[in-house]
Structure 1
Amino acid sequence: MTISLTPAARQRMQDFLARDAAAVAVRFGVKRTGCSGYSYTVDLAESIDGDDRVFDQDGVRIVIDAKSLPLVDGTAIDFVKSGLNAAFVFENPNMTGECGCGESFTVG
């Protein structure tokens, strides 16, 4: 089970963590939403729960809850700037489809 970060994503997450002394990790997961089923969530975590899986990549601790883990296992996370927009981008090998607006995805 793995999650990987590009250098740009790692730097962005380190920046977020440095701004919040209470944050112990970045929480990555999914929630049910949209027309295809799931969307990604990225938040700061102030605690690590008992069912969380912890990944550490180059000093960035990422926590994922047990329900999200099978849906995001193997995901590569990037951070992309395009003009005035900037966002995390996810390359998820478990994704089998996504909605037309790109806000949600399905898994097989």
Structure 2
Amino acid sequence: MDNLDLTPQPQPRVRRPRPKVVTLSDTAAERVREIMSRPRQDGAEAPYVGLRVGVKNGGCAGQEYVLEYAEAANPLDEVVEDKGVTILVDPKAVLFLIGTEIDYEVTKLSAKFVFRNPNETDACGCGESVTITPVKLD
């Protein structure tokens, strides 16, 4: 008789896809792609690798969003690909930004990126700073 191993084998755990920390509206993605396709203002040859997003302490409401072009990804960045744009999220900001959509609005007086963040609990009158409560993980 053959030596058959009838011991149940563990099945690999199937992970469900993780939701994106942040997303871009179509308008914001188009604007970021347009800006990033231009030659760099500082004359450097290397293209930017993505858009860096974060949160810092400051302003009258306590926190401010940070949005800048990234030359390289940091080892702990949360990397999000959305609509052809690479978004690098500062690891210290992830819990503050979960569920955020970044939009781009053009009005008669301004053109700017706008954060639609479900974790925002307050904002100052001038619109430059916010109060954000981090997501509580269950």
Counterpart for residue 55 of structure 2: 30
Aligned partner of residue 67 in structure 1, secondary structure? helix
Q: Between Structure 1 and Structure 2, which shows a larger proportion of strand residues?
A: 1
The equivalent residue for 1:53 is 78
Kindly state the Cα deviation for residue 22 of structure 1 after the two structures are TM-superposed.
2.5
**2:27 alignment partner in structure 1:** 8
Tell me the matched-pair count: 108
CA distance in 1, matches of 2:30, 2:109: 18
**Gaps in structure 2 of 5+ consecutive residues:** 1-18, 41-45, 134-138
TM-score (norm. length: structure 1) = 0.92
Structure number with the bigger relative contact order (C-alpha 8 A, sep ≥ 6) is 1
**4+ residue segments displaced more than 3 Å:** none
Of 97, 100, 104, the residue aligned with 1:72 is 97
Partner of 2:131: 106
Max Rg structure: 2
Across the aligned residues of Structure 1 and Structure 2, the Cα RMSD in angstroms comes to 1.2
Shift of 1:84: 4.3
- Long gaps (5+) in structure 1: none
**Percent identity, aligned pairs only?**
40
Aligned partners of 2:98, 2:36: CA distance in 1, in Å? 23
1:86 corresponding residue in structure 2: 111
Please tell me the residue identity of whatever aligns with 1:16. I
Q: For the residues of structure 2 that align with 1:59 and 1:107, how far apart are their CA atoms?
A: 28
